[in-house]
Amino acid sequence: MSGIRNVAIVAHVDHGKTTLVDALLAYSGAMKSLVEGAPLVMDSNDLERERGITIFSKNCSLIWKGTKINVIDTPGHADFGGQVERVLRMADGICLLVDAFEGPLPQTRFVLRKALARGLTPIVIINKIDRTNSRPREVLDEVYGLFIELGAHDHQLEFPVIYASGRQGRSGFAVEGGPSLAPILDTILEEIPPPKAKTEDPINLPVCHVEVDKFVGRIAVGRLEGGRLKEGDQVKILHPDGTETIGPAGRVFVFEGIRRTPTQILEAGDVVAVAGMDGVEIGDTVADPVRVVERQIMKVEPPTLAMEFRVNDSPFAGQDGQYVTTRHMKERLDRAAKADVALQVLPTDRTDSMEVRGRGVLHLGILIETMRREGYEFAVGRPRVLFKDTEQGIEEPIEQVTVEVPPDDQGKVIELMGRRRGELTHMQIHGDLAFLEFEAPSRGLIGLRTKLMNATRGNAVLSSQLKGYAPHRGEIPTRATGSQVCSETGIVSAYALNALVDRGSFFVEPTEKVYEGQVTGEHRRDEDVLVNPCKKKHLTNMRSAGADEKMDFPPAIKMSIEESLEFLAEDELLEVTPKFLRLRKRLLKETDRRRELRTAKSALQSGT
Ligand SMILES: Nc1nc2c(ncn2[C@@H]2O[C@H](COP(=O)(O)OP(=O)(O)OP(=O)(O)O)[C@@H](O)[C@H]2O)c(=O)[nH]1
Ligand SMILES: [Mg+2]
């Protein structure tokens, strides 16, 4: 084997990164050939398979014409942008995939900007050319436009262009592509420079990722930027706070195909994994014990969204969770923050709660889902956008939003975005789809996805990317409906729901256990209403006796974690347990809620 290439695959969400990585692994023989319709091998996590998206970036490698190519598959969704930022450190070049129909979208711009800033060599792959309505030439023009807009240097503008269909395993230099994936692999060998790292330099391994293995413990992953390293070698771990620890390295690994394989010695330039260093964290630098090595500086864009996580104090607390105490929750959240640089965990003024900050509702939603699957029980509050207090006044995060929608529905989208202080900046029609570009405050995007889907019968695709901060754009109307709040603890009856149909939709179904203060449905009107979904037939008077034979109420709406988070009002919490998601009032008793309202009102009147 001669030489190494390190390349990251980057793109907007769904533009075909993982499909292409799977295909490249299979084509080069690093993995057995693909089964059509089978789940993607690289999307190996359960949540990734269920949702059909990449959540965690991953390393793999293949051998092409005697050279080892380390490939990093990255997530495309904007909420996981922090991972892309940190793994680019392992690469010398990128394959920028752009959908041959959709063209560059917000996340394309984000990843390209980060890659150009790092001086990485780009290869542009116009992907999915098999799509019937693909428009590869126009898309290439748009890609040039994007490079120029992002201030690419002249040499970066001379990027090679490949037309491909990852799904069909085809690629080529002409718009119609070619018969195999060889052009992509050849171009990686020719265009992406080999790593500059030298074996004679001191050991320097900036840790980009930490894996936890049942047998060997914590494993630090990164690109060895200098030196050679074998098991037992003394190393110094440089922590970002200026401290350092010394100790021997444990077992060492490289990536072969989709596996991490133990090896004898790690060579500079390769993407490697080192076990046996207990306290090692993302952002540390594993360094030569004697010779001077610079500490890595890992800075990622700051979080935009905060949410309260607190211990579950609902009447049903502890019924199905394994880890239910504040200590459990804090310990788990601290661990999550260490594994994900884009996540921050801060104390609050309550001892039983923490503030968790992240990039978006999906980012925090995935954390919540992961924790409940591990057996945790807790409650979370409504997501809150983080403002910046500047000399010019309060500034808020503004996102670039793209909505793809059939032209017939574009009016509804523009209206919805307008109400949320979004400004239409660009509009284009390609084939039977309109592409609308907006600039909108992050605040306005919370809950927008569900609204858009309803307004367009599921025909809209929304994506967004943080653009920067701008002066606060003023009030945004929140949810126009109230909650149906359960008045007593008991078991939901069909009879009671039947009598409540006029109130709105239900989140619970007959035989379900509910408690006082739980939100059991949505109220049509803009205020909360106290309801009793547990009422039994014999408790009512005679008048309804004739009508109660016919039960006619809609099935319960079961919201996902993200939908629930977007639904929550300020005075509500989402109770999360391994088996249930329940919405509830922070204060479970009606009398307590009234008292709080009165106190708030009088505080407002007296101006305090
Ligand atoms: N027509 C067509 N569809 C493709 C092609 N490659 C991928 N797809 C489809 O596009 C969708 C997304 O593919 P993925 O490979 O998961 O995309 P991704 O970029 O890894 O997505 P994220 O990691 O979630 O950002 C899937 O439904 C694929 O089957 C292609 O070459 N042609
Ligand atoms: Mg993917």
Q: At which residue do the structure tokens 């018969």 appear?
A: 179
**Which of 275, 261, 195 lies closest to 229 in space, CA to CA?**
275
User: How many angstroms does the Cα of residue 157 sit away from the middle of ligand 1?
Assistant: 26
Structure tokens at 262: 């133990």
Residue 539 has pLDDT above 60, yes or no: no
Mean pLDDT of 369-388: 96
Residue nearest to atom 27 of ligand 1 (CA): 14
Question: What does residue 62 show for φ and ψ, rounded to 5 degrees?
Answer: -145, 165
Question: pLDDT, tens digit, for every residue of 178-225?
Answer: 999 999 999 999 999 999 989 999 999 999 988 887 788 889 999 999
Both ends of the chain: CA-CA distance in Å? 73
Residue 145 has pLDDT above 90, yes or no: yes
Q: At which residue do the structure tokens 């084939």 appear?
A: 431
Q: Would you give the distance in Å from CA 199 to the centre of its chain?
A: 37
Burial tier of 158 (Cβ tally within 10 Å: 0-12, 13-18, 19+): exposed
Of the chain, the percentage scoring pLDDT greater than 90 comes to 73
Residue nearest to atom 8 of ligand 1 (CA): 16
Q: What is the pLDDT of residue 542?
A: 55
Structure tokens at 589: 């008793």
Ligand 1 shell residues, CB under 6 Å: 11, 13-19, 40, 53-54, 75-77, 127-128, 130-131, 165-167
Residue nearest to atom 3 of ligand 1 (CA): 128
Question: pLDDT, tens digit, for every residue of 460-473?
Answer: 888 888 889 999 98
User: How many angstroms does the Cα of residue 14 sit away from the middle of ligand 1?
Assistant: 5
Which residue would you say has higher pLDDT here, 38 or 26?
A: 26
Ligand 1: which of 167, 171, 180, 184 to mutate, judged by most atoms within 8 Å of the beta carbon?
167
Mean pLDDT of 58-83: 94
Of the chain, the percentage scoring pLDDT greater than 70 comes to 97
Mean pLDDT of 448-462: 85
User: How many angstroms does the Cα of residue 341 sit away from the middle of ligand 2?
Assistant: 20
Q: What is the pLDDT of residue 538?
A: 67
Residue nearest to atom 9 of ligand 1 (CA): 16
Report the 3 state secondary structure along 34-95.
CCCCCCCCCCCCHHHHHHCCCCCCEEEEEEECCEEEEEEECCCCHHHHHHHHHHHHHCCEEE
Residue 37 has pLDDT above 80, yes or no: no
For residue 74, give the ligand 1 atom closest to its CA. 23
**Which of 125, 96, 145, 89 lies closest to 296 in space, CA to CA?**
89
Give the ligand whose atoms come closest to the C-alpha of residue 99.
1
Q: What is the pLDDT of residue 510?
A: 94
Residue 581 has pLDDT above 90, yes or no: yes
Q: What is the pLDDT of residue 397?
A: 94
User: What residue ranges define each of the domains in the chain, with the CATH number in brackets?
Assistant: 4-191 (3.40.50.300), 204-287 (2.40.30.10), 388-471 (3.30.70.240), 482-597 (2.40.50.250)
Q: How far apart are CA 303 and CA 233, in angstroms?
A: 37
Q: How far apart are CA 38 and CA 569, in angstroms?
A: 40
On whether the CB atoms of residues 585 and 571 are closer than 8 A, the answer is: yes
Structure tokens at 548: 């109660």
User: How many angstroms does the Cα of residue 508 sit away from the middle of ligand 1?
Assistant: 36
On whether the CB atoms of residues 285 and 204 are closer than 8 A, the answer is: yes
Residue 549 has pLDDT above 70, yes or no: no
User: How many angstroms does the Cα of residue 413 sit away from the middle of ligand 1?
Assistant: 25
For residue 232, name the pLDDT band (cuts at 50, 70, 90): very high
Q: What is the pLDDT of residue 63?
A: 96
User: How many angstroms does the Cα of residue 471 sit away from the middle of ligand 1?
Assistant: 37
On whether the CB atoms of residues 54 and 366 are closer than 8 A, the answer is: no
Q: How far apart are CA 473 and CA 476, in angstroms?
A: 8
Q: How far apart are CA 112 and CA 106, in angstroms?
A: 10
* Average pLDDT over all residues of the chain: 91
Q: What is the pLDDT of residue 243?
A: 92
User: How many angstroms does the Cα of residue 449 sit away from the middle of ligand 1?
Assistant: 21
Give the ligand whose atoms come closest to the C-alpha of residue 76.
1
Mean pLDDT of 148-165: 92
What's 360's DSSP letter? S
Ligand 1: which of 17, 19, 96, 363 to mutate, judged by most atoms within 8 Å of the beta carbon?
19
For residue 61, name the pLDDT band (cuts at 50, 70, 90): very high
What is the rounded radius of gyration, in angstroms, for the C-alpha atoms of the chain? 27
Q: Which amino acid is at 150?
A: L
For residue 543, name the pLDDT band (cuts at 50, 70, 90): low
**Which of 194, 182, 259 lies closest to 1 in space, CA to CA?**
194
User: How many angstroms does the Cα of residue 47 sit away from the middle of ligand 2?
Assistant: 12
Longest dimension (CA), the chain: 92
Residue 48 has pLDDT above 70, yes or no: yes
Residue nearest to atom 11 of ligand 1 (CA): 14
Per this entry, what is the length of the chain? 608
Q: How far apart are CA 497 and CA 364, in angstroms?
A: 33
For residue 97, give the ligand 1 atom closest to its CA. 19
Q: How far apart are CA 570 and CA 559, in angstroms?
A: 18
For residue 11, give the ligand 1 atom closest to its CA. 19
Q: What is the pLDDT of residue 544?
A: 52
For residue 54, give the ligand 1 atom closest to its CA. 23
For residue 13, give the ligand 1 atom closest to its CA. 25
pTM value is 0.89
Q: What is the pLDDT of residue 452?
A: 87
User: How many angstroms does the Cα of residue 404 sit away from the middle of ligand 1?
Assistant: 17
Mean pLDDT of 275-300: 88
Give the ligand whose atoms come closest to the C-alpha of residue 80.
1
For residue 571, name the pLDDT band (cuts at 50, 70, 90): very high
Mean pLDDT of 428-455: 88
Mean pLDDT of 384-404: 92
Which residue would you say has higher pLDDT here, 547 or 599?
A: 599
User: How many angstroms does the Cα of residue 447 sit away from the middle of ligand 1?
Assistant: 26
For residue 165, give the ligand 1 atom closest to its CA. 31
Residue nearest to atom 24 of ligand 1 (CA): 53
Ligand 1: which of 9, 12, 13, 14 to mutate, judged by most atoms within 8 Å of the beta carbon?
14
Residue nearest to atom 5 of ligand 1 (CA): 167
Mean pLDDT of 247-276: 94
Residue 2 has pLDDT above 70, yes or no: no
Q: How far apart are CA 142 and CA 554, in angstroms?
A: 47
User: How many angstroms does the Cα of residue 13 sit away from the middle of ligand 2?
Assistant: 7
Question: pLDDT, tens digit, for every residue of 11-36?
Answer: 999 999 999 999 999 999 888 777 77
On whether the CB atoms of residues 361 and 561 are closer than 8 A, the answer is: no
Q: What is the pLDDT of residue 219?
A: 93
